[in-house]
Amino acid sequence: MTIGVYPGSFDPVTNGHLDIIKRSASIFDRVIVAVTEDNNKVNLFSLQERYHLLREVTGNSHFENVSVEMFSGLLINYVREKEASAIIRGLRAVSDFEYEMQFALMNKKMAPDVETLFLTTSTEYSFLSSSIVKQVASLGGCVRGLVPPTVEDELILKYKNKKGGR
């Protein structure tokens, strides 16, 4: 049984992420989408919220062999614990490459038997990131078609509450 781990902060999950998850699910017997608290980032959604959104948007028949989990600490330890053979990462543009290469090589150094598999993003999502979605949504712009509808609703709610709280 081949297991792939697709890690990320998913703050929030976008249609670009979903595309990578869907494609990974046809390569591996099982895909674990692994969401973590990234200590170097201030996230809009809590870890629990990001986990629940991921569960919701992968909860249909397209994603039968996909599960969502939370992890903390070093990714490579988690990957070993799950007995996965590969880490899956999406590559959008050259700008992603340097960081992703460093990330992959460091993980390879710690666990030579675990591969990193890069999937190039589908063209329609090549410009898409959680950050740009948040920026647009925070300023009242429309993100329909870029994130699943439930995520769009949560973004609107989040920024409405933030404004209300000021």
Residues belonging to the active site: 17, 41, 92, 130
Output phi, psi for 156, to 5 deg.
Answer: -60, -45
Shortest Cβ distance from residue 33 to ligand PNS (Å)? 11
Half-sphere exposure of 105 (CA within 13 A, CB side): 6
Shortest-Cβ-distance residue relative to ligand PNS: 8
Under 8 Å CB-to-CB from 82, ≥6 apart: which residues? 3, 5, 32
Shortest Cβ distance from residue 111 to ligand PNS (Å)? 10
For residue 165, with 0-12 CB atoms within 10 Å meaning exposed, 13-18 middle and 19 or more buried, which class applies? exposed
- 110 or 161: CB nearest ligand PNS: 110
Does the N-terminal peptide bond of residue 149 adopt cis geometry, omega within 30 degrees of 0?
no
Interacting residue ranges for ligand PNS, rule: CB under 6 A: 7-9, 36, 38, 74-75, 103, 106-107
Shortest Cβ distance from residue 92 to ligand PNS (Å)? 11
- 47 or 156: CB nearest ligand PNS: 47
Shortest Cβ distance from residue 24 to ligand PNS (Å)? 14
- 112 or 164: CB nearest ligand PNS: 112
- 54 or 75: CB nearest ligand PNS: 75
Distance CA 109, CA 112 (A): 6
